[in-house]
């Protein structure tokens, strides 16, 4: 079966295909791909069985990642919690995966990585093997707001929301330069506590520019003091909780729970059917428990590689020495470190 490669940022068929495909996500959209390109220099591409003269009926989108530190590889997709192949049947899926394997061998890429939600190594191809495993949480938004609230953990979510309202936390949303700066300052605090570098400020600025109103910063403040913020994305009937950060000195006021509840309320009013709460690494029980307490359904999500190779990325930050060093760096140095390294650990 013949396959074709296209540039999803230039092919006029691609935006309509993503808009109408039931399994597409925010991570498939041209805006997300453009932000990846602008921030990190990754080259987006897609492979399909649809000839150039016909409408797109399937595609696997990926990025060419070129790094002198971690190698040259094809990733579907960098910094995306998941990115399902948008394929209508098993024969087309096998043809596209075979083409990706051939592209990897022909051009000398280190490996191809897929980040699917619902695709196992057995159903994909014998050429792909499990590489990393995560937990994925999704909250069903079809119940009423009252039913959703009742399902939340009474102490860690319900009472926190009531505490935030009682304390008079101020809620703001948008994607202005001011909100982006406040959000990034909270990101620096949070990543320092986690002993990790933050992603570059340019990443968040480019997301705002490329995704428009489908991306929002949601901020809670106590008076003039920022308390917590989250970054959400929306695509079709799904809301995505992508990033969260907070001022740990004000955690008792329930800022994170407050802004996430406001996001859920807005998602309901926009007829969204689910809240994608993203992936969690198995060694992060605190994040897993936080998502569990919202009544979200937890599933196992496995990334696939061909050929199999050691995982690269955040694991390199988990040594005690590296973590302690990161926790002590000044803000500017920590920010510069993230700006340099994230293009290599996608």
Distances (CA, A) of 246 to 68, 166, 183: 34, 19, 9
Place of tokens 């901020």: 219
Its CATH architecture, for the domain 143-272, is: 3-Layer(aba) Sandwich (3.40)
- What is the tens place of the pLDDT at every residue in 38-75? 999 999 999 999 999 999 999 999 999 999 999 999 99
Phi, psi of 241 (to 5 degrees): -90, 105
- Cα dihedral 118, 111, 339, 208, rounded to 10, equals -40
Query: Which residues in the chain land under pLDDT 50?
Result: 313-315
pLDDT of residue 346: 81
Taking domain 4-134+303-310, whether its CATH number is 3.40.50.300 is answered by: no
Q: What is the DSSP track for 70-103?
A: T--EEEE-TT-S-B--B-SSHHHHHHHHHHHHHH
Dihedral over Cα of 189, 75, 267, 118: its sign: negative
CA distances from 286 to 173, 283, 318 (A): 26, 9, 16
Determine which helix (DSSP H) or strand (DSSP E) holds 222, and give its type and residue range: strand 215-222
Q: What are the structure tokens assigned to 346, written together? A: 């996608």
- Under DSSP, the state recorded for 308 is -
Task: Please tell me the predicted confidence (pLDDT) of residue 91.
Answer: 92
- Between CA 342 and CA 327 the distance in angstroms is 17
pLDDT of residue 127: 84
CA–CA separation, 115 and 303 (whole Å): 5
- Backbone φ/ψ region at 197: left (φ over 0), alpha (ψ -120 to 50), beta: beta
Closest CA to 114 of 47, 183, 29: 47
> Using CA atoms, how far apart are residues 26 and 236, in angstroms rounded to an integer?
8
3-class SS at 41? coil
Contact (CB, 8 A) for 73 and 87 = no
pLDDT at residue 211 in the model: 98
Going from N- to C-terminal start, the domains of the chain cover 4-134+303-310, 143-272
Looking at residue 318, its pLDDT comes to 58
Local structure of 208: helix, strand or coil? helix
C-alpha 312/C-alpha 344 separation (Å) is 9
Distance CA 127, CA 304 (A): 10
**Which residues on adjacent β-strands are paired with residue 225?**
222
Q: What pLDDT, on a 0 to 100 scale, did the predictor assign at position 125?
A: 64
pLDDT for 311: 56
Is there a common fold for 4-134+303-310 and 143-272? yes
Report pTM.
Answer: 0.94
């Amino acid at each position: 079966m013949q396959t074709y490669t296209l540039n999803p940022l230039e092919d006029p068929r691609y935006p309509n295909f993503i808009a109408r495909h039931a399994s597409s996500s925010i991570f498939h959209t041209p805006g997300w791909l453009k932000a990846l390109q602008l921030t990190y220099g990754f080259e987006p591409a897609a492979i399909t069985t649809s000839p150039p003269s016909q409408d797109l009926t399937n595609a696997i989108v990926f990025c060419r990642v070129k790094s002198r530190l971690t190698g040259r590889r094809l990733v579907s997709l960098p910094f995306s919690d998941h990115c399902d192949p948008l394929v209508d049947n098993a024969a087309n899926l096998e043809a596209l995966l075979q083409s990706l394997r051939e592209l990897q061998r022909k051009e000398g890429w280190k490996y191809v990585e897929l980040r699917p939600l619902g695709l196992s190594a057995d159903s994909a191809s014998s050429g792909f093997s499990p590489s990393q495993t995560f937990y994925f949480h999704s909250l069903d938004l079809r119940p009423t707001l009252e039913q959703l609230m009742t399902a939340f953990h009474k102490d860690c979510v319900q009472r926190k929301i009531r505490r935030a309202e009682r304390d008079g936390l101020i809620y703001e949303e948008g994607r202005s330069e001011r909100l982006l700066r406040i959000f990034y300052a909270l990101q620096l605090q949070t990543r320092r506590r986690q002993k990790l570098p933050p992603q570059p400020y340019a990443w968040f600025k480019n997301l705002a520019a490329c995704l428009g109103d489908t991306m929002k910063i949601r901020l809670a403040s106590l008076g003039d003091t920022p308390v917590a913020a989250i970054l959400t994305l929306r695509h079709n009937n799904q809301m995505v909780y992508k990033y969260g950060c907070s001022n740990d000195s004000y955690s008792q006021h329930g800022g994170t729970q407050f802004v996430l509840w406001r996001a859920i309320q807005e998602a309901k009013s926009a007829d969204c059917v689910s809240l994608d709460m993203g992936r969690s690494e198995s060694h992060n029980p605190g994040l897993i428990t936080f998502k569990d307490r919202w009544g979200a359904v937890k599933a196992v999500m496995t990334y696939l590689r061909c050929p199999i190779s050691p995982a690269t990325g955040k694991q390199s930050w988990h040594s005690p020495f590296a973590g302690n060093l990161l926790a002590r760096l000044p803000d500017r140095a920590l920010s510069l470190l993230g700006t340099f390294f994230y293009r290599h650990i996608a």
